């Protein structure tokens, strides 16, 4: 039986999907729903891996799905941080600015009187991003994306697992009569 | 069998830790020193996986939980689902449930969000909690079955998939 295909390539594609979803402003809001973007990346990585398995190879196992999903999560954390740094450098903190304006609008609509320090703190937390923030973000993402990618991989296995024709179960032979 | 029990226990403990962290964030925020810093870190950490909107969250001691009502329900539902496994089965080894159950589990959430987007239904805290809880409860069986199949020595999950009954 030929060996199973390489897991790195589908995991990398899954990681790229996770990275793009997590780094692109507004698209990354998808992750606000229990890391749906990461789950999706892990799931798709398993789909790509399954597609690369030929009929001569051993079928997709849940161990493969766990490995591919978790790897996709790790790649996703790396790619997401790199992409976020590039987007931040090119366009600035687009989502942070939008969120700051949204929050200020919300406060104004509610006619709330907030102290100036509150706005300073809000501006600091939403708009100012340093290299240290990006590094911290990478570590937090690596911790979160790996298990969520793994869970996505397992969900992918639940959906794409190979169908095996039902096996015929035979009754155990009767013991020979004692004479 | 012993290995399956170990995997089940590890998954259960990890989920318990995750759920505890969700509850710890609002409980520790009123403290000072290390506990308050931990709480701030937890809010920051869970901010990566949830929008944490105040009006969409459950509250504990007047403070919102670390994740919104839907996410909380998914995680606590997942934990309850894992807890219920030994009640319904004598041992945690289990076949993969059929995949239509997975799609059926997502359906209440899709309906809750989809109908609310088109103004056909008003998504409330309880609908978010209920739809999320159902999803978490059911998906725990898939995740556990996947882990058990992956670590099973004889790796007979393909065989057990044929006997997919729930």
Query: pLDDT tens across B139-155, in order?
Result: 999 899 888 888 875 44
Q: Select the residue of A31, A164, A165 nearest B49 (Cβ to Cβ).
A: A31
Nearest residue of chain B to residue A22 (CA atoms): B48
Residue B73: its pLDDT value, please?
Answer: 95
Residue B118: its pLDDT value, please?
Answer: 87
Residue A132: its pLDDT value, please?
Answer: 77
Q: Has residue B162 got a pLDDT over 50?
A: no
Chain B: closest CA distance from residue A174 (Å): 24
Distances (CA, A) of B21 to A37, B18, B40, B46, B152: 22, 5, 11, 9, 30
Q: Select the residue of B44, B50, B151 nearest A32 (Cβ to Cβ).
A: B50
For residues A67 and A42, the answer to whether their CB atoms sit within 8 Å is no
Residue B159: its pLDDT value, please?
Answer: 46
Rounded average pLDDT over B121-149: 90
Average pLDDT of the residues of chain B:
85
Q: Has residue B166 got a pLDDT over 80?
A: no
Per-residue pLDDT of chain A (179 residues; tens, 9 = 90+): 788 889 999 999 999 999 999 888 778 888 887 788 999 999 999 999 999 998 888 889 888 999 999 999 999 999 998 988 888 777 777 777 777 788 788 888 877 777 777 777 777 766 666 777 778 888 888 989 999 999 999 999 989 988 765 555 555 666 666 65
Q: Which of B57, B78, B150 to mutate to test the interface with A (most CBs of A within 10 A)?
A: B150
Does A112 contact B at CB distance below 8 Å?
Answer: no
Residue B93: its pLDDT value, please?
Answer: 55
Would you say the ipTM is above 0.85?
Answer: no
Check A34 against B50: CB less than 8 A apart.
Answer: yes
Model pLDDT for residues B55-66, shown as the tens digit of each residue = 899 999 899 999
Does A65 contact B at CB distance below 8 Å?
Answer: yes
Does A77 contact B at CB distance below 8 Å?
Answer: no
> A55: which DSSP letter?
T
Does A164 contact B at CB distance below 8 Å?
Answer: yes
Q: Which of B13, B49, B164 to mutate to test the interface with A (most CBs of A within 10 A)?
A: B49
Strand partners, B64: B59
Phi, psi of A13 (to 5 degrees): -65, -45
């Amino acid at each position: 039986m030929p060996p199973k295909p390489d897991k790195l390539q589908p995991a990398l594609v899954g990681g790229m999907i996770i990275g793009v979803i997590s780094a692109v402003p507004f698209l990354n809001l998808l992750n606000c729903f229990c890391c749906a973007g990461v789950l999706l990346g892990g799931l798709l990585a398993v789909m790509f891996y399954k597609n690369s398995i030929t009929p001569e190879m051993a079928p997709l196992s849940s161990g493969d799905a766990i490995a591919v999903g978790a790897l996709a999560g790790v790649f996703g954390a790396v790619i997401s941080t790199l992409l976020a740094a590039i987007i931040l450098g090119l366009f600035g903190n687009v989502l942070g600015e939008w969120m700051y304006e949204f929050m200020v609008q919300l406060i104004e609509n509610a006619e709330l009187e907030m102290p100036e320090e509150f706005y300073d703190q809000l501006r600091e937390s939403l708009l100012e991003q340093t290299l240290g923030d990006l590094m911290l973000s990478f570590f937090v993402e690596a911790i979160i994306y790996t298990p969520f990618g793994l869970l996505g991989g397992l969900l992918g296995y639940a959906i794409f697992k190979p169908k095996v024709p039902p096996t015929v179960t035979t009754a155990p032979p009767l013991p020979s009569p004692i004479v | 069998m012993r290995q399956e029990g170990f995997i089940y226990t590890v998954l259960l403990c990890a989920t318990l830790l995750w759920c505890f962290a969700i509850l710890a964030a609002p409980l520790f925020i009123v403290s000072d020193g290390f506990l308050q810093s931990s709480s701030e870190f937890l809010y920051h950490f869970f901010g990566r996986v949830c929008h944490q909107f105040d009006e969409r969250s459950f509250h504990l001691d007047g403070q919102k939980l670390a994740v919104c009502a839907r996410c909380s329900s998914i995680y606590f539902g997942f934990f309850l689902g894992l807890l219920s496994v030994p009640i319904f089965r004598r041992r945690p080894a289990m076949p993969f449930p059929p995949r239509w159950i997975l799609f059926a589990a997502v359906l209440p959430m899709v309906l809750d969000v989809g109908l609310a987007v088109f103004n056909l239904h008003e998504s409330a805290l309880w609908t978010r909690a209920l739809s999320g809880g159902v999803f978490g409860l059911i998906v725990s069986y898939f995740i556990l079955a996947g882990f058990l199949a992956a670590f099973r020595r004889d790796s007979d999950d393909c065989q057990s998939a044929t006997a997919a009954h729930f």
